Amino acid sequence: MQHLTPAFRQAAFRLDDPDEFSVAVSGGSLRADFLSRPLRPTLIEQFQSPCWAIDFHEAHVRARIFGGLPKGWASLGIMCSPTPSTWYGLEAPSGTMVCTPPGEPIDGCTTLGFLCFSVGLSPRLWEHCRRVASPEAGAFGCVAAHHFTSSAFAHLTQQVMNLRSRLRRAQQEPALAATVANEATRLLTGLGITAWESRTAAPPKREALRNRARLARSAETLMRDELGEPLQIPDLCAALRVSRRELEYAFRSTFDQSPRDFLQALRLNAIRRELRVSDAPIIDIAFQHGMSHLGRFAASYRHLFGEKPSQTVRMGR
């Protein structure tokens, strides 16, 4: 559903399928691969203006999320989940703000019971935050994280929830829209300034952590390129020149899943996408995506998506 006002737009989504996650970040284009069966639909509420956006996320599925932001926009994701999620190889517990500068893709994993609100800042607003916080700084650089103190996080959460209520109210009382939009601009600008200030003061990310995330993403790229081949984990280790233990550790710390289970999930998600649009027999599509044992394939598919492959075919057609 969507409502229009002169100052900002509201949208709400209920997402049941991985391919529906493309709309999960305002203005962005995301891709999701489910790593676990959803407990219930993911809920998204968005408020968007020409210079900022704020999205509220409530996800009940472990999913691999990646994709791009609108050109020149920055994103600040504030984590509220009791269970830490992983973004860019960084563990992000509740109270963490993950800062994605312009030009960087969104890259992470949701957890069961994932709660987050994310802020999008336009190029003009992002530049304003830089000039206020660090006028001598050039580019923001790579992704960074800022950890709020418990009191600061509680205060911020209360402010954001109050803003959310005001934004909703403005949908019913359009005369409030411009005033509430200005309130949002002030609050979100403050978050952008905090991001720049923490970036200039933050120590560099640990090299070991950076290397594990880089290794996991390199392995993921090889997996996606070879989904139709009988790729095995030892093949990945040989191609990347790492031990199986190193690869396992990289995947556990980056994606909270073993390389074998991650590869299986990628294949099942790719099969699901093909089943929804292709007239080819299910058995052929499964074989084309590296599945060699049809009995195990059907059981794994149903465990991940809560339906049989044949049901996906019927719904897609």
Q: Domains (ranges, CATH) in the chain?
A: 2-201 (2.60.120.10), 207-316 (1.10.10.60)
pLDDT per residue as tens, the chain (317 positions):
334 345 889 999 999 999 999 999 998 889 999 999 999 999 999 999 999 999 999 999 999 999 999 999 999 999 999 889 989 888 899 999 999 999 999 999 999 999 999 999 999 999 999 999 877 777 888 888 899 999 999 999 999 999 999 999 998 898 999 999 999 999 999 999 999 988 855 444 555 556 888 899 999 999 999 888 888 899 999 999 999 999 999 998 888 899 999 999 999 999 999 998 988 899 999 988 988 787 789 999 999 999 999 998 887 66
> Can you give the pLDDT at residue 3?
40
Give the residue from 312, 211, 269 showing the smallest Cα distance to 65.
Answer: 269
Which amino acid is located at 284 in the chain? D
Q: Which residue has the tokens 């950076």?
A: 210
Q: How far apart are CA 92 and CA 148, in angstroms?
A: 11
> Can you give the pLDDT at residue 170?
93
> Can you give the pLDDT at residue 1?
37
Secondary structure in 3-state letters for the chain = CEEECCCCEEEEEEECCHHHHHHCCCCCEEEEEECCCCCCCEEEEEEECCCEEEEEEEEEEEEEEEEECCCCCEEEEEECCCCCEEECCEEECCCEEEEECCCCCEEEEEEEEEEEEEEEECHHHHHHHHHHHCCCCCCCCCCEEEECCHHHHHHHHHHHHHHHHHHHHHHHCHHHHHHHHHHHHHHHHHHHHHHHHHHHHCCCCCHHHHHHHHHHHHHHHHHHHCCCCCCCHHHHHHHHCCCHHHHHHHHHHHHCCCHHHHHHHHHHHHHHHHHHHCCCCHHHHHHHCCCCCHHHHHHHHHHHHCCCHHHHHHHHC
Q: How remote is the C-alpha of 24 from its chain's centroid?
A: 8
Is residue 121 within 8 A of residue 107, CB to CB? The reply is no
Which amino acid is located at 235 in the chain? D
Q: How far apart are CA 7 and CA 24, in angstroms?
A: 21
Residue 133: φ, ψ to 5°:
-85, -40
Q: How far are the Cα atoms of 104, 146, 196, 204, 247 from residue 201, in angstroms, in the given order?
A: 20, 10, 9, 10, 32
Q: How far apart are CA 314 and CA 291, in angstroms?
A: 21
> Can you give the pLDDT at residue 210?
67
Residue 95: φ, ψ to 5°:
95, 5
